[in-house]
């Protein structure tokens, strides 16, 4: 990548080549996820790998395809607390989600 291309990316946003690289990275990670689903991998390792890959993919999509990498810091600081709030809400209701299947009446 030339110096001119890097300067353009930092000033005006990502280039088509950047989008292509991110897309290829997402494609490779999806392939790894599919491979893990078909291979006989221990459950904990598979779930940890799938969760990690999903977080990385979500971060790439948010940063590049939703253009948040090139936004002001104030926008990020506005959205990040909401992300934390959503995660806390999910953790609060996780106990109910685990308990609900046991509450069904016997068939």
Query: Strand ranges (DSSP E) for 13-105?
Result: none
Length of the chain measured in residues:
107
pLDDT tens digit string along 30-70?
A: 999 999 989 888 888 888 899 899 999 998 988 888 877 77
Pairwise CA distance, residues 91 & 5, whole Å: 43
> 91 with 98: CB under 8 angstroms?
no
For all residues of the chain together, what is the average pLDDT?
82
**End-to-end CA separation in angstroms for the chain:** 64
Cβ neighbours of 41 (radius 10 Å): 14
Residue 2: which pLDDT band, with cuts at 50, 70 and 90? low
pLDDT of residue 67: 74
The token pair at 106 is: 């016997």
Q: Is 55 exposed, middle or buried (0-12, 13-18, 19+ CB in 10 A)?
A: exposed
| Residue 101 confidence (pLDDT) above 50 | yes
């Amino acid at each position: 990548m030339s110096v001119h291309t890097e300067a353009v990316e930092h000033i005006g946003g990502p280039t088509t080549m950047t989008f292509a690289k991110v897309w290829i990275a997402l494609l490779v990670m999806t392939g790894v996820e599919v491979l893990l689903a078909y291979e006989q991998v221990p459950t904990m390792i598979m779930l940890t790998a799938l969760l990690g890959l999903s977080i990385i993919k979500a971060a790439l999509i948010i940063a590049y395809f939703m253009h948040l990498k090139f936004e002001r810091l104030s926008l990020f600081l506005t959205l990040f607390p909401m992300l934390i709030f959503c995660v806390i809400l999910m953790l609060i209701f996780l106990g109910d989600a685990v308990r609900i299947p046991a509450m069904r009446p016997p068939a």
